[in-house]
Amino acid sequence: MILLCENIAWVQADDGRATPFDESRLYGTLSRAALSAGYRDWWFGEAVTIAVREFVCAHCERQTVAASTLAGLVEGVLRALGFADVAEAYRRRHECAEVRLDEIADNDGALSELEFFRRLDAALGTTRNVELALVHVRGLRLCVMRLRGAQYWSATCRRFADEILLHVRERVARSRRNETGTLCLAVTE
């Protein structure tokens, strides 16, 4: 028999499945929301995560909370702490797209630059969604090194990385030209 630990909180999805509350997942989501709200070194994420878990453990029936209730709880805590901008970014967390440059460049054979940019344009097609608030571009360094066949980072790699970033910015700007609202572009090497 497996006994439940008293300090485990559960999150119940719309389909009825219950999964353990994942603190690292919430912390990561809060960190990304804070970053998109303009906070680079936002340290409240850990405290909010712990407070939410403790609340669920202490005040929710069978230490279980519905996913939608959990989202509302997190937003409420953020607003109560004076971080309405982070709460809004958290609310819009599903309005995010991720483009993995390293996966686009991952190919068993040699991938030409032309083919890479064609694939990149296809991946950036998601930025046309007017509800989208954030596009996170990941894997820039690995992508450049794969495409260049480089063993180490060089000035040539840096120039090619800048070329890719310029291409991404131009494509995103072109796809959103007539839209109102802000689209954040985050790049992780």
Which residue ranges does the chain devote to CATH 3.30.370? 96-188
User: CATH number of the domain at 96-188, please?
Assistant: 3.30.370
> For 47-61, 71-85, 115-129, which range has the lowest pLDDT when averaged over its residues?
115-129
pLDDT tens, residue by residue, 60-116? 888 888 888 988 999 999 999 999 999 988 887 767 778 889 888 886 556 788 889
pTM of this prediction?
Answer: 0.52
Q: Choose among 76, 50, 60, 48: nearest CA to 11.
A: 60
Query: What is residue 42's predicted lDDT score, i.e. its pLDDT?
Result: 84
Long-range contacts of 83-91 (CB under 8 A, 24+ apart): 83/34, 83/37, 83/44, 85/37, 85/38, 86/30, 86/33, 86/34, 86/37, 86/39, 86/42, 86/44, 88/37, 89/32, 89/33, 89/34, 89/36, 89/37, 89/133, 90/29, 90/30, 90/33
Q: Torsion-angle region of residue 97: left (phi > 0), alpha (psi -120 to 50) or beta?
A: beta
For residue 79, give the amino acid letter: R
Query: What is residue 78's predicted lDDT score, i.e. its pLDDT?
Result: 93
Mean pLDDT of the chain: 83
Name the band, by pLDDT with cuts 50, 70 and 90, for residue 4. Answer: low
